[in-house]
Amino acid sequence: MSLIKARIVAIRYEARDVLSYVLAPLTPAQPLPAYAPGAHIDVHLTGALMRTYSLSNGRGDAGLYRLTVQKDPKSRGGSIYMHDSLRAGQEVEISTPRNNFELCEDAPLSVFIAGGIGVTPFIPMMARLSSLGRRWRLHYCVRTRERAAFIEEIEQLTAAGHGEAVFNFDEEPGGSMLDLNAVIASLPEGAHVYCCGPTGMLHAYQKAAERLPSECVHFEYFSSDVKAAAEGGFTVVLQKTGSEVFVKSGETILQAIRSAGVFVDSSCEEGICGACETKVISGTPDHRDMILSDRERTESKSMMICCSGCKSDRLVLDL
């Protein structure tokens, strides 16, 4: 994937441990590529350190990218580097936007369930639905109000009249955890529901939403708790070149293909960003990503080759 350079033109405090970074093109002659609500970009921080963040653009951010990052003491280094090392005026290298979390714009109701910093992709989604005059509801779960980014911005969006927000500050007096089953059970027919937040919340959400049509259920993970398939022992056929690559025990499909000298796009390499998604022509993938729905896994039209393996002896890919 080709990278582009952008400049950090502002860094803003949003909430406790949460900062926004506003990126602008280096020159007006090279505007940042357009994106749709739900999109994310990779930010190349230093050396091998790269992180993926949703675009959290609000109404005033046309032509810019806004990223909102929560400093996580258990972070593998990305959020700490963002908070401690980046400064306004600096140039950063970023990918073009990708989107695995697309908004369905014509649903009769869109319900967003955010866990903490998982609210970021929903800001442009809610703004978009408000501009279209479509109904939406946000359930925003954060431990305390002081940790909740964008409260004012969300209140401005609800004031426009098409959406409502329900805040769950579960560590505040009288607060309680969101009842996901009750939220899902109350959805009217045809509603689309979206969830972004910690892994445990997303697992509970997917379980609660099992009875809904899969095209109405959307989710985005920040990280994966699933081990990549590295059992190996099968052959990958690259349809376009006709070459064959044997995947040995201990390596992923992506690693095996790379070792054979074939370039394939990748980014997170843990099944959450979609950069390595590859069309499957035949064979039985062993899906280990956090992106595909149950229906998409059953259909197996594509797979994430950074983390998924194969249950058959041969796997033919559109590469």
Please tell me whether residue 264 adopts helix, strand or coil conformation.
coil
Among 19, 196, 273, 315, binds ligand FES (CB under 6 A): 273
Among 37, 97, 124, 271, binds ligand FES (CB under 6 A): 271
Q: Give the total of residues touching ligand FES (CB under 6 A).
A: 13
Residue with tokens 């809904």: 212
Q: Verify binding: residue 168, ligand FES, rule CB under 6 A.
A: no
Do residues 89 and 8 lie in contact, with contact meaning Cβ atoms separated by under 8 Å? yes
Closer residue to ligand FES in complex, CB, 95/168? 95
Tell the smallest beta-carbon distance from residue 34 to ligand FES (Å).
22
* 230-269: contacts with ligand FES (CB under 6 A): 266-269
Closer residue to ligand FES in complex, CB, 165/276? 276
Give the pairing of strands 234-238 and 243-247. Answer: antiparallel
With 0-12 / 13-18 / 19 or more C-beta atoms within 10 angstroms meaning exposed / middle / buried, residue 135 is: middle
Q: Verify binding: residue 285, ligand FES, rule CB under 6 A.
A: no
Q: Verify binding: residue 274, ligand FES, rule CB under 6 A.
A: yes
Q: Verify binding: residue 276, ligand FES, rule CB under 6 A.
A: yes
Question: For residue 184, what are its two tokens?
Answer: 């899902």
Tell the smallest beta-carbon distance from residue 2 to ligand FES (Å).
16
Q: How far is CA 149 from CA 38, 79, 103, 271, in A?
A: 17, 16, 21, 27
Q: Verify binding: residue 69, ligand FES, rule CB under 6 A.
A: no
Residue 58 to residue 184: CA distance in whole angstroms: 27
Pick from 17, 21, 53, 19: nearest CA to 144: 17
Give the interface with ligand FES as residue ranges (CB under 6 A).
266-269, 271-276, 289, 304, 306
